Structure 1
Amino acid sequence: MLTPVRHGKPILVGTGKLTRAAIFNKEGTSVWASSPGFTVTPAEIKEIVSAYNDGEKVLSSGMHVGGERYVVLKIVDRSIYCKKGKEGLCIVKTTQAILVAHYPEMVQPGEATKIVEELADYLVSVGY
């Protein structure tokens, strides 16, 4: 499976701030890249894709990713922010992809989201 790299390291997980990540197409029908051991099921991908069309449902019921349930804190334009205890997820939609990245409790949410949002900006700038 393709893993986007920069300077020989995976872009998201290679930063040391994110522990797991996946990239799939915006329709949710194809996984483009995934961290080893991080499986986002087809049902979970469908839930993520649906959240962009109807965020109210996940705001009230939460979201499942990698077999875990997360509380959805907010949905802002292309980004969905989720927490489970002190860890969390940043999910960002680009022109053609959806990035899902997990950060551990010792990483500040703002640090993690900056990394994911910057990759999303880059992908948008090159047509993805």
Structure 2
Amino acid sequence: MNIVKRALLILAVAALASLSAFGADVAGAWKCPKPSQTLTIKQEGGKITGTLQNTIGNLRIAEGKVDGDQITLLFMVVLSNGVDPLGVAGYDSLAEEGQVTEITYKGTITGDEIKFKVTQERLETVRELSFKKTT
């Protein structure tokens, strides 16, 4: 193999490796049927932004990242008495009205599905949710 072909091959492999370092393409809409939730994700490299729509409204992704087949989303939610902020991680009945809590979605991406483990700070409850890509 001559030097030019070898250099082109090395560049192509390096380009593919750098693309996969950011992780899977997760941009678009993702739906969880129960409890009903829709994730709308925007992606720039490994950085994730977007919203989660559920029974209490639209929640902004405060921090999000994707690395390989792993995705992490962080939501900062203001608690309201008697309302489970995401309907998935249990309600912290000891929290005061107006207190901010962190809710973390950590997931594995497989094709058009993301399987999340959802936790709310100070609670030991872990819920598992499955989202399917719709667009």
Please give the range of the TM-score, normalised by the shorter of the 2 chains: 0.3 to 0.5
Q: Which has the higher strand share?
A: 2
| TM value normalised by structure 1 | 0.40
| Max Rg structure | 2
Greater relative CO, 1 or 2 (CA 8 Å, sep 6+)? 1
TM-score when normalising by structure 2: 0.38
